[in-house]
Amino acid sequence: MLVYQDLLTGDELLSDSFPYKEIENGVLWEVEGKWVVQGAISVDIGANPSAEGGDEDEGVDDQAVKVVDIVDTFRLQEQPPFDKKQFVAYAKKYIKALTPKLEQEKQELFKKHIEGAIKFLLSKLSDLQFFVGESMHDDATMVFAYYKEGATDPTFLYFGHGLKEVKC
């Protein structure tokens, strides 16, 4: 199994259990999330409680909740939304922090294509949800989520260059 960690903080943000598609010249990775039900599940074992003197209300108190699989699996922490000025400030700070950590070849590709990725994200800014990893570090790689037109499940966007592949 492969896990993708934030290159800046070491937080686990993704795994190969969630296939990604590269967009914006590979700078952004697009991953489809899903709403899932989590919690106590009622299991029918074929018993008849009324015939066995049991009460109808007896049993497990179902505390099921709906969560987004990626957010739950990687314990992503939602952040307040950014306006355009805040987002541009974050992007500049992120690029400055990430670039020196990349290999020379990846640095060149990142610098060449990051502007297009930032413009793509800015075009969706009002629709984005913002997440960081479990550590909630200030310099963390941000994960973005939005709903494509007509979609009931969110799509997540990652800065591919900001992830480090780790074999488990």
Place of tokens 């997440």: 131
Rounded Cα distance, 101 and 7, in Å: 8
| pLDDT tens digits, 17-69 | 999 999 999 999 999 999 999 876 655 666 665 555 555 555 554 678 899 99
Q: What separation in angstroms does the CA of 35 have from each of 4, 20, 67, 154?
A: 21, 17, 5, 8
Query: What pLDDT, in 10s, does the model give residues 43-54?
Result: 566 666 555 555
Domains and their CATH numbers in the chain? 2-37+68-167 (2.170.150.10)
Task: State the Cα–Cα distance between residues 143 and 150, nearest whole angstrom.
Answer: 21
CA-CA-CA-CA torsion for 116, 30, 133, 93, nearest 10 degrees? 0
- pLDDT on residue 47: 60
pLDDT at 80 over 90: yes
Q: Using CB atoms within 10 Å of the CB of residue 88, give its burial: 0 to 12 exposed, 13 to 18 middle, 19+ buried.
A: middle
Confidence at residue 40, expressed as pLDDT on a 0 to 100 scale = 64
Residues 115-147: tens digit of each pLDDT: 999 999 999 999 999 999 999 998 899 999 999
